[in-house]
Structure 1
Amino acid sequence: MRFIIAIAVVLAFVSCTNKAEIEINSVKITPVFMDSLSIRAIHPLDENRVWFAANKGKVGLIDGDTPKLAVIKYADSLLHFRSIAATTEAVFVLSIANPAVLYKIGFNGTEATNIEEVYNEIGPEVFYDSMKFWNDDEGIAVGDLIGDCLSVIVTRDGGNSWEKLPCEMLPKVEKGEVAFAASNSNIAIYGDNAWVATGGKKSRVMHTADRGKTWKVYDTPIASGKAMTGIFSIDFRDENNGIVIGGNWEQKSDNSKNKAITTNGGKSWKLIADGEEPGYKSSVKYIPGTAGQGIVAVGSPGISFSGDGGKSWKELSKEAFFAIEFVNDSVAFASGNNRIAKLLFK
């Protein structure tokens, strides 16, 4: 059964100095899948279809009103998935914790054709957080600190095999610096670039401009120092302009030093709306086609919107979600506890 929450969104363009400011006044939320799951990783295909990966070993494709589901077991265990990514011919899901197991799911455009294990890593400190693809051949997944670097694995053959990058290739990180597995969005991809956001001991952004071959790391002003503070989500609209968001998961109302933007590809970051709403958020996305003016952020406290590139925000809904992914400038999917919903912007 579907339930309609809230009312239609009003979208208007208000002239400003150089760019069109976006105005959204409300949101229409239509749950399209409900189950007793924690769903932190989604990948939309179009306005009616969305892949997801969740806990209890469950992955699936929501195709309109039809959920096509599978339960993946590793030995006798039900894995907990928080990472998902896709190429033209396959979908990939990666589990957190020990063991980390990455599966390739063949997809013919309508149905899953086969499931195969393509990577496995065992160890007490193993914990993978997110995954993205640059193109149909090359992809990346990132996990927490082992030794003195984050765990980074890459594929160059369409996901058939994955290689872990040695720490010598990666920036050094401090003990307690982590990559949060909150929404499969602490990696952002644009062109040949990837940006990886961290939190905990330090809130920084790692950057590669050559699909993982070389790396640099940059400081941010986002709050850090505690286990659950830092950057939870990052998004870029082009190779220069990006946004990070997060905060303090243990004090979600804290809205200080939890939002920042860059205009130089991540080399430097400037706080925005500091000390103003919203507080903690776990996923942030630019609205396509709005020249970086329209931004939506979701988290357990609700849905917030900025129409001026992050300078000011307002709450659209108190409905809780972990992750949001846009299909186009008027449709997004969001996931959270026990559900996936379609968010319609008019």
Structure 2
Amino acid sequence: MRRGGRTGLLVTAGVACAAALAALTVPAAQARPLGHGAGHEAVPGAGHRALHWAEKSSGTPQVRFRGLAAVDRDTAWLAGTGGTVLRTTNGGAAWRDVSPPGAADLEFRDVEAFDARRAVVLAIGEGEASRVYRTDDGGASWTESFRNTDPKAFYDCLAFFDRRHGLAMSDPVDGRFRILSTSDGGRSWRLLPTAGMPAALDGEAGFAASGQCLVTAGPKDVWLATGGGARARVLHSGDRGVTWTATDTPVLAGDPARGVFALAFRDRAHGIAAGGDYRPGQASPRSVAVTADGGRTWRSADTPPPAYRSGVAWLPHSRTAALAVGPTGTDLTTDGGRTWHTIDTGSYDTVDCAPGLGCWAAGEKGRVARLER
């Protein structure tokens, strides 16, 4: 489950990690690089003296993980290619393959977990390739709760407001984004009316890159990220997806490979949009934008990440620190998204954080890591 808006709720955990987060404010000249472990190239003077990615072997080098759900520092879920779902309950020391039976031909791109036993995963694709599964026993068994029957629909992301209420979004069908709703934790889904959805731009769609094109904060607010059109937009709903407003962002747009790929909100007001141009070697100026009014207006980062970023997450119990990840590295902000510094050059597609500094990242070649201090 995305945790925007839930930071600060666990006061005890917040006190426990306050010292580590305070170290984020040290000057760069005193800092040590975040880069750590095989496959990482440290960036001198750009990191944080205490925090670093510690790689955890998933044992699945053939899988690319774009779906990630951080429950806490011990428990996380991964969803990826080949119908693969993994779960750890011991901090990544071991991963259990809990993939749904018969799903080897599916592409899982999002997973939303409520705890170590209950999770919902989304498979993407045209027509019946888009499906939703739910488990209540840690992946020992799964129930298929939705299978798309409209050949024009292509579902990209899931997001939950709480353990019962959630949404799934599809690329536009007949000129409007399509939204599914659940009120029983993903056990059943219904299609919401499209009357309250603004018309899509020509070529506009969502990106199933990190499970973060649809995110929530609080009991009713949800945001949807778009790309592929003339402008990169963020759509917002304050009534659980019934009515929406669309706002342009300054994130790079104007091409099918460009737009907003990921969103993160730490509360109903403060959010970060990350993206750019996902093609290797292509420049991605204006890769990050920030909002302080719930997405009504967006401002480009003064110093954005130097390249496309597909995932973004606020650090727990911090009002100003966040991480953005992509194929060429990880970037850190300590001022609410205005300035970013590359602190690791390992390839990750998605990042997610839970209270207590339970931050995880995942990506290609089975790569998964946990943030350590």
CA distance in 1, matches of 2:175, 2:363: 32
CA distance in 1, matches of 2:24, 2:344: 21
In structure 1, the residue matched to 2:133 is 103
Contact 2:100 2:139 in 1 (8 A): no
Gaps of 5+ in 2: 1-19, 28-45
Q: CA deviation at 1:208?
A: 0.9
The answer to whether residue 63 in structure 2 is matched with residue 63 in structure 1 is no
Query: SS at 1:238's partner residue?
Result: coil
The answer to whether residue 276 in structure 2 is matched with residue 247 in structure 1 is yes
Contact 2:221 2:268 in 1 (8 A): yes
The answer to whether residue 41 in structure 2 is matched with residue 12 in structure 1 is no
Sort the Cα spacing of 1:81 and 1:13 in 2 relative to 1 into closer, same or farther, 3 A.
closer
* CA deviation map 1:87-144 (0-9, x unaligned): 356211111113111111113xxx4353111111134333211111111211111121
Q: CA deviation at 1:332?
A: 1.3
Q: How does 1:171-190 map to 2 (within 5 A)?
A: 171-190=198-217
Contact 1:10 1:23 in 2 (8 A): no
- Relative to its length, the structure with more helix (as a share) is 2
Sort the Cα spacing of 1:32 and 1:48 in 2 relative to 1 into closer, same or farther, 3 A.
farther
- Relative to its length, the structure with more strand (as a share) is 1
The answer to whether residue 168 in structure 2 is matched with residue 168 in structure 1 is no
Contact 2:329 2:345 in 1 (8 A): yes
* CA deviation map 1:124-179 (0-9, x unaligned): 33321111111121111112121111121110122221012232231211231011
TM-score scaled by structure 1? 0.87
Q: How large is the RMSD of aligned CA atoms in angstroms?
A: 2.4
Q: How does 1:86-97 map to 2 (within 5 A)?
A: 86-87=113-114, 90-97=118-125
Q: How does 1:1-346 map to 2 (within 5 A)?
A: 12=23, 14=25, 24-25=48-49, 27-35=52-60, 36-64=62-90, 65-73=93-101, 78-87=105-114, 90-98=118-126, 99=128, 100-107=130-137, 111-191=138-218, 192-201=220-229, 202-250=231-279, 254-273=283-302, 276-291=304-319, 293-328=320-355, 330-346=357-373
Sort the Cα spacing of 1:213 and 1:123 in 2 relative to 1 into closer, same or farther, 3 A.
closer
Stretch moving more, 260-269 or 202-211: 202-211
Gaps of 5+ in 1: 1-8, 17-21
Q: Alignment length, in residue pairs?
A: 327
Q: CA deviation at 1:182?
A: 0.5
CA distance in 1, matches of 2:104, 2:77: 22
CA distance in 2, matches of 1:10, 1:156: 36
CA distance in 2, matches of 1:104, 1:279: 35
Stretch moving more, 151-160 or 232-241: 151-160
CA distance in 1, matches of 2:291, 2:308: 19
Q: CA deviation at 1:15?
A: 8.8
CA distance in 1, matches of 2:81, 2:134: 17
Sort the Cα spacing of 1:331 and 1:135 in 2 relative to 1 into closer, same or farther, 3 A.
closer
% identity of equivalent residues: 27
Q: CA deviation at 1:41?
A: 0.4
* CA deviation map 1:271-324 (0-9, x unaligned): 1135x5322100011111121x11110000111111122222211111000001
Query: SS at 1:24's partner residue?
Result: coil
CA distance in 2, matches of 1:286, 1:32: 24
CA distance in 2, matches of 1:298, 1:15: 21
